[in-house]
Amino acid sequence: MTSVSVASGVVGAGGAGRVDGGGLGAGGAGRGWGDRGGWRRGLLGGMNKFWAVMQVTLRSRLRYLGDFWSAAIFILVVMYVFVELWRVTYAQGGDASGLVAGFSLTQMIWYLVATETIILSMIPIHRHIENEIKSGDVAIRLNKPYSFLGWHAAVFLGEGALKALVLASAGGAIAFAAVGFPSFDATQVPALIVSFVLTALLNFCWGAMIGLLAFWTEDVTGFFFVLDRLKWLMGGFLMPIPLFPLWMQEAVAWSPFPLMIYEPARLAIDFSWTRWLDVSGRQFGLLLLLGLMAWGMYRAGVRRLDVNGG
């Protein structure tokens, strides 16, 4: 039983007719967009549906917490290997102040906890979208009073938040036992939560666009493998970007991937409000761009279905 199947029936109340725009915001009521205040009511209605799907997903996954044990065990093993690897690296290659690329050993280990949590907490949204397109279920969702992409984004965030908590706890336990806590201020937590949500939505848009390729190709597995590993490499998943060769750092700076992995992970271990405002602003701008691209792909795919008779 998956959170996807449970959540699908909850947002059906509160509207009828084909109102799906496909965007990240859920569709509003069928009437009201042309009325005074209709835009506001539609936006609030969409947010309520988005939140309802997230709540149902969380409740569903809480009943199956045992499913996360494999991910927790995996991150425990990975973090143990990283701890031993970086201990040797710092013992032999640190500078006079004991830093590598500006990171202390404690910061490096906790950076890896953050990157592993970001990547491993994401559900394979490309596969869910691909399966719905290939099975024809996407045609059924066109008549639902909510956005196709908005609904998937809510499921992605709901399950991802719970999984991230489990992974961060497991990975953090190893990191704390090995190097202790980095400097941290509890007042930073709300800002870091905002960063996590923006990071998750960026990764959702990237995965959704890969899944939406199923409108034009039979199998997106190859696309996912190449594009997702490109994100890992250029996003600083396995090591911070300052450790890259200079030419690669310059190339990475022009890509969207650091905002999906490196920048939010760096904020988690070396927070400043100035950096947070800069990173969050760039994340929000990139989210608008990727969201519009995903919406455009969805609308083009739906038109293709209409032309081909579904």
pLDDT in the model for residue 64: 66
Residue 4 lies in a domain: no
CA distances from residue 1 to 4, 46, 65, 119 in whole angstroms, order as listed: 8, 26, 12, 23
Q: Which amino acid is at 246?
A: L
> Which pLDDT band, with edges at 50, 70 and 90, does 12 fall under?
very low
Residue 2 lies in a domain: no
pLDDT in the model for residue 9: 42
Between these two residues, 141 and 12, which has the higher pLDDT value? 141
- CB of 57 within 8 A of CB of 159? yes
Residue 11 lies in a domain: no
Residue 3 lies in a domain: no
Any residues with CB less than 8 A from the CB of 166 and at least 6 apart, and which? Answer: 65, 68, 71, 72
Range of the domain at 95: 20-307
Q: Is the pLDDT of residue 94 over 50?
A: yes
Percent pLDDT > 90 in the chain is 51
Task: Tell me phi and psi for residue 272, to 5 degrees.
Answer: -145, 145
Residue 9 lies in a domain: no
Burial of 143 (0-12, 13-18, 19+ CB in 10 A): exposed
pTM value is 0.81
> Which pLDDT band, with edges at 50, 70 and 90, does 150 fall under?
confident
Which DSSP symbol is given to 18? S
Residue 28 lies in a domain: yes
Residue 174 lies in a domain: yes
Burial of 71 (0-12, 13-18, 19+ CB in 10 A): middle
Between these two residues, 33 and 62, which has the higher pLDDT value? 62
pLDDT in the model for residue 205: 96
Residue 15 lies in a domain: no
Total domain count, the chain: 1
